[in-house]
Amino acid sequence: MRLSVIGCGYLGAVHAAAMASIGHDVVGIDVDQAKVDRLVRGEAPFFEPGLNEILADGVASGRLTFSSDMAAARGAAVHFVGVGTPQQQGGHGADLTYVDAAFTSLVSHLRPGDIVAGKSTVPVGTAARLAEVVAPTGATLVWNPEFLREGWAVQDTVAPDRLVAGVPAGAEGERAAQILREVYHTAVASDTPFIVTDYATAELVKVAANAFLATKISFINAMAEIAEVTGADVTQLADAIGYDARIGRRFLGAGIGFGGGCLPKDIRAFSARAEELGRGESIAFLREVDAINLRRRDRAIELTVEALGGSAFEKRVAVLGAAFKPHSDDIRDSPALDVAVRLRGLGADVVVTDPEALENARRAHPQLQYTEDLDEALRSADVVVVVTEWPEYRHELDPAHAGELVNARAVVDGRNCLDVRTWRDAGWTYYGMGRPRG
């Protein structure tokens, strides 16, 4: 099928390349000419495992093209809209400027029978409003939320857990759902659940999923706070409750909490929308989820200062990690970088390293020192703070080797990702999140 994908960020670029990889003819459209230029060369504009390969293959096969001109969407049977919905400046709601601009610019290129598939995360009620924008063209709007995780985006797009299509009632909706099944033919053929709903349900599925994940993380982080005053170990607690299949161990990783371009802004936008709907109290707990999450960064800073003997002033701090999570170069709302910036604010001499995110980090926080060389970061450190659980720190960093480089063998494990015994055996004092000191 011929498809267009409007917006070539973390979502759209992966979607365009993945759709080409399963045999469709795809044009990716973005207003950022520099991004388009890179994509045309088959280069991903950000780090995402596996993306460069499918981009290059798609471009080389001729099935994948990119343009900064919306007219390139003309002739596609399905138009995916995957532009960003960031948090409003000075508010908690979602900023729909890019979504509205994309629809305004797309409508003049739609033909009767086209499908427009919204993928952006939007406040419930947006699709019903946008359906009216699309209706005069004779095209049909579906809402088809995306559940991909950065770092696993290619796999999540090609082989998702489930597909959700919010469609209008009646024959028009049935036809639209059928066309989406054809688009996702590989996933459908392998029996991926395909759930057809109305618009509001599809929009809510997305924010409910992210709200649930954020709540799960904050739940375990709340347990970490209790563990800290009782001497318990939150990682053992998570293992033990996680064996209950109804609970499950995934997303029970206590640490400095969630960040990124989705979970934090999505729970805030959901709260803001619930308030507008007069149901703020129904999800008032999400404010608590947010507050617990932010408190964990304070805790990591507190532990670091404690490890430094009470003051960070002029102490050398090696910060391992800048990305909001491993296998990504995304630093949006990164707890790791926030901790680094705030330690510098306390007068520490902070040096940050990360396998992929340094370029983005440098641009956002030029006041910090950066090095690509892990040994260089560790050299003469008075404390090592691990804030992104990259395999490079988790599995490959030898505590005996690191011990020879640092000034003091003190490590704050902001992600509870290090093997405590190995580090202790190599003479380190270990500070975990919600775990006993050692």
Q: Is 410 in the site for ligand UGA (CB under 6 A)?
A: no
Q: Which is nearer to ligand UGA, 58 or 259 (CB)?
A: 259
Work out how close the CB of 110 gets to ligand UGA at its nearest, in angstroms, rounded to a whole number. Answer: 26
Q: Which of 251, 280, 306, 346 binds ligand UGA (CB under 6 A)?
A: 251
Q: Is 121 in the site for ligand UGA (CB under 6 A)?
A: yes
Alpha-carbon gap, residue 253 to 219, rounded angstroms: 10
Q: Which of 80, 324, 390, 423 binds ligand UGA (CB under 6 A)?
A: 324
Q: Is 129 in the site for ligand UGA (CB under 6 A)?
A: no
Q: Is 259 in the site for ligand UGA (CB under 6 A)?
A: yes
Work out how close the CB of 228 gets to ligand UGA at its nearest, in angstroms, rounded to a whole number. Answer: 16
The type of residue at 63 is R
373: its two tokens: 């060389």
Q: Which helix (H) or strand (E) holds 29?
A: strand 25-29
Q: Which of 149, 175, 379, 424 binds ligand UGA (CB under 6 A)?
A: 149
Q: Which is nearer to ligand UGA, 70 or 322 (CB)?
A: 322
Q: Which of 251, 246, 248 is nearest to 263 (CA)?
A: 251
Work out how close the CB of 213 gets to ligand UGA at its nearest, in angstroms, rounded to a whole number. Answer: 5
Alpha-carbon gap, residue 220 to 431, rounded angstroms: 18
Binding mask 159-198 for ligand UGA (x = CB under 6 A): ----------------------------------------
Tokens 């459209």 found at: 29
Work out how close the CB of 252 gets to ligand UGA at its nearest, in angstroms, rounded to a whole number. Answer: 6
| 3-class SS string, 99-131 | HHHHHHHHHCCCCCCCEEEECCCCCCCHHHHHH
Q: Whose CB is nearest to ligand UGA?
A: 253
Q: Is 7 in the site for ligand UGA (CB under 6 A)?
A: no
Work out how close the CB of 215 gets to ligand UGA at its nearest, in angstroms, rounded to a whole number. Answer: 12
Q: Dihedral sign for Cα 244, 263, 48, 355, please.
A: negative
Q: Is 255 in the site for ligand UGA (CB under 6 A)?
A: yes
Q: Is 260 in the site for ligand UGA (CB under 6 A)?
A: yes
Work out how close the CB of 61 gets to ligand UGA at its nearest, in angstroms, rounded to a whole number. Answer: 27
**How would you label 240-260 residue by residue, b for 16+ Cβ within 10 Å and e otherwise?**
ebeeeeeeeeebbbbbbbbbb
Q: Which is nearer to ligand UGA, 58 or 253 (CB)?
A: 253
| 302, 306, 311, 314: CA torsion to nearest 10 | -90
Q: Which of 263, 351, 411, 412 binds ligand UGA (CB under 6 A)?
A: 263
Q: Which is nearer to ligand UGA, 238 or 378 (CB)?
A: 238
- Interacting residues of 269 by C-beta distance below 8 A, sequence separation 6+: 85, 87, 92, 93, 94, 121, 123, 207
Alpha-carbon gap, residue 40 to 32, rounded angstroms: 12
Q: Which of 384, 419, 415 is nearest to 402 (CA)?
A: 384
Q: Which of 5, 55, 217, 387 binds ligand UGA (CB under 6 A)?
A: 217
Q: Which of 418, 419, 413 is nearest to 432 (CA)?
A: 413
* 262 tagged catalytic: yes
The two most distant CA atoms of the chain are separated, in Å, by 71
Q: Which of 64, 57, 67, 54 is nearest to 24 (CA)?
A: 64
Total site size for ligand UGA, rule CB under 6 A:
21
Work out how close the CB of 427 gets to ligand UGA at its nearest, in angstroms, rounded to a whole number. Answer: 28
Q: Which is nearer to ligand UGA, 237 or 252 (CB)?
A: 252
Alpha-carbon gap, residue 166 to 118, rounded angstroms: 9
Q: Which of 250, 261, 251 is nearest to 153 (CA)?
A: 261
- Binding range to ligand UGA, per CB under 6 A, among 68-76, 80-88, 136-144, 258-266: 258-266
Q: Is 253 in the site for ligand UGA (CB under 6 A)?
A: yes
Q: Is 257 in the site for ligand UGA (CB under 6 A)?
A: yes
The type of residue at 50 is G
Q: Which is nearer to ligand UGA, 30 or 114 (CB)?
A: 30
* Contacts with ligand UGA, residue ranges (CB under 6 A): 121, 146-150, 210, 213, 217, 251-253, 255, 257-260, 262-263, 324-325
Which residues are annotated as catalytic? Answer: 262
